[in-house]
Amino acid sequence: MQTQPNVLCVADASGKRAVQRCDFLAHPPFSDTPDGLFRSYLSPAYTATVKQVREWMEEAGMHCRIDAAGNLIGRYEGLTPNAPALLIGSHLDSVKNAGRYDGTLGVILGIEAVASFHAQQKRFPFAIEVIGFGDEEGSRFPVSMLTSRAVAGSLDTLPDVQDAQGTSIQQALLESGLDPAHYLEASYKPSQVLAYFEAHIEQGPVLESKDHAVGLVTSIAAQYRFKVTMKGMAGHAGTLPMHLRQDALAAAAEAISCIEKIAQSGPDDLVATVGQMSVKPGAPNIVPGWVEFSIDVRAGTENVRNKAAETITQALHEISQKRGVEMELALQHDLSATPCNPQLSNVLAASIQAVTGQPAYKLVSGAGHDAMIMAALTPVCMLFIRCEKGISHNPAEAVQDEDVETALRVMCDFIQNIPSEKAA
């Protein structure tokens, strides 16, 4: 790819090195398991990863610290000491049997961007802080995005939760040399922050299908999660006539098909998923009398999400009435949409076009990210990076060196062109 005019030529930093570093962190001691990557918050693997990534931050010219929540933060000072910081972040923890690039690549790309500026002895009116968040996935304790909530000041208290082995989060913090009583001190004041930027693999197939290396995230999707219970009447599979049955599973099957059709009939950013189901009695010769299943509805705006949820709810009530089955529907999860800041997104779009020679491809993030939490503190924007077949949360997760190089160059151009005053 030819370098476009006015686009920073990255010095020693590179997308290839970022990929290699993520690959290096995919094995013990940076994984809690010998087979397949798993790095949980405050575990030995997390501690080892923080130590290694800290070394890379220091090599890139940053001063590093571990905050009260266990996040790793490297600061590249601006032209003026103690200037507000552009935060560049993502997470260092992972799900079980994870891919190598989810979260981690965004942190490493932040380091590579700073390394390129440091090599040129280039500084800005603002500082740059690269943050490796400790807990985004919630894979150890039953709460997600805990450490970005601490940084954004969105926590009132530290949750009283335990991991699968019965270790409390308070105990885990103490074992890591952190004081639970000071956890909330990880928070920033809005005056300390200019903006938050996050680079992340797409975790979906859209960029690959459109042949784009990177994409501009316009918003992080609004999400509803429901639990649906259908109660019919269990009966003998051989003696209960079809026309007299109150089959809860047959009702659920019709409901799932209807949910899929409703989502397919909506805009491209609308998705609906049934990912869990339990059936009772669960015997091959008994008509099912009880079924419980989940519904996950997401869209780029609350309006689209809410309309779809209303249509689904009405359809499920009609199905249950028609089949003589009782239905209960409970809302379990409600996340508002997080729009990315228009001013920052315009700068990022210009950087994408400058580097790639093409207009920025825009898309909604269906997955949640730390950026949605950080939006409570400061304006946010996000860059997506193409991943092979859209696979994520899976060892088959893969990226191309060239795509990551493009992302790095976009990031560097973006950093050079963002306003030194906080976006409105």
Binding site feature residues for allantoate: 225, 285, 298
Residue pair 365/221 in contact by the 8 Å Cβ criterion? yes
Mark the binding-site residues, compressed into ranges. 91, 102, 137, 200, 225, 285, 298, 393
Q: Is-contact 22 101, C-beta < 8 A?
A: yes
d(CA 354, CA 347): 11
CA distance 379 to 381: 7
Q: What's the token pair of residue 227?
A: 């639990």
CA distance 281 to 289: 7
User: How many secondary structure helices (H) and strands (E) does the chain include?
Assistant: 11, 16
From residue 20, how far is each of 212, 349, 393, 399 by CA, in Å?
Answer: 22, 27, 19, 11
* Token pair listed for 393: 């949360």
CA dihedral 38→43→45→50, nearest 10 degrees, is 120
The residue written with tokens 């009132």 in the block is: 156
Question: Before 29, cis peptide (omega within 30)?
Answer: yes
Is residue 381 within 8 Å of 340, Cβ to Cβ? yes
Handedness of CA 139, 140, 143, 146 (dihedral sign): negative
CA contacts within 13 A on the Cβ side of 182: 10
Where are the strands (E) in 160-221, listed by range?
A: 193-201, 214-220
The pair of three-digit structure tokens given for residue 138, joined into one six-digit string: 């919630």
Euclidean distance between CA atoms 395 and 397, whole angstroms: 5
> What percent of the residues of the chain are helix, what percent strand, and what percent coil, each to the nearest 5?
35, 25, 40
Which residues carry a binding-site annotation for Zn(2+)?
91, 102, 137, 200, 393
